[in-house]
Structure 1
Amino acid sequence: MPGEPTRPLPVLTEPDTAEFWRACGEHRLTYTTDRDGGVVFYPRRTDGGQVRDSAGRGVVYTYTVVRRHGHPYFRSRAPYVVAYVDLDEGFRLLAEVDADPDAVHVGMRVEVGWEDHGETAVPVFRPAGSAAT
């Protein structure tokens, strides 16, 4: 008898994103700055920049409600919200928002929460000020 479906997870040894996912495992959302201090985001190896921790707070830039999904893990969660979140530090991240789909709106303040999976954790946002997920 098969167990519960599991979330597809990143490859933790991939050189460009491994540091980002290790930090997520420690419940730290990170981003990079370039040599001039400008924010650079999508996870990748740095070339003279610095990795910094985000406070994990931002606003919903745009979102969609997923009502049907082919993968068993996500099918069991539908309906759920996926949003681009503009973090206060100046980068944008695509992530799930753990909230009633009818309550999510553009401009909504959110904060990062964590969905633990062994060695790593997946950032999942929730309405700012709500209880931890």
Structure 2
Amino acid sequence: MTQPESPLATYRHHLSAGHLAYQYDTRTDSAVFPPRVLGPGSGNPALEWRLSAGLGTVHAVTVVHPRDQAPYNVVLIDLDEGFRLMSQVDGRPAIGMRVRMRAHTPPDGSPPYPVFDIEESA
């Protein structure tokens, strides 16, 4: 009997293919993020995987200024599917801006992660 893939491994597998995946709890009719084994509040072990369109709105922005490194932004993004995640936005993000996800694969072989670009039509 094979062990099922962990929620984190499934999430990373989707990112490797360029997709932002999230889970959905049919008991509470709500998006679940970050990936987990049980639905929060419901304890539902049968969470569905869904693909996000990758579109969202900037909820909050801060800029981190590490010593001896270039500053970078840390942004909370409300995805259209109903979940929020923390990431970075290329460019100068502002609260209320529309953004689109793209999967970034670090050159050092680390797992891919989502970053966002400002939507030109916004």
* Common topology (TM > 0.5): yes
* Aligned-residue CA RMSD (Å): 2.2
- Number of aligned positions between the proteins: 108
Structure 1: which 5+ residue stretches go unaligned? Answer: 1-13
The AA in structure 2 aligned to 1:58 is G
Change (3 A) 1:68 1:43: same
Q: Percent identity?
A: 38
Determine whether 1:53 maps to 2:51.
yes
Work out the CA distance in 2 between the residues paired with 1:25 and 1:45.
21
Structure 2: which 5+ residue stretches go unaligned? Answer: 39-44
3-state SS of paired residue (2:105): strand
Superposition TM-score, scaled by structure 1 size:
0.72
> Following TM superposition, by how much is the alpha carbon of 1:127 offset from its aligned partner in structure 2, in angstroms?
0.3
Work out the CA distance in 2 between the residues paired with 1:22 and 1:45.
16
The AA in structure 1 aligned to 2:81 is E
Determine whether 1:31 maps to 2:22.
yes
Residue 115 of structure 1 corresponds to which residue in structure 2?
104
Work out the CA distance in 1 between the residues paired with 2:119 and 2:75.
15
Superposition TM-score, scaled by structure 2 size:
0.77
> Following TM superposition, by how much is the alpha carbon of 1:69 offset from its aligned partner in structure 2, in angstroms?
5.3
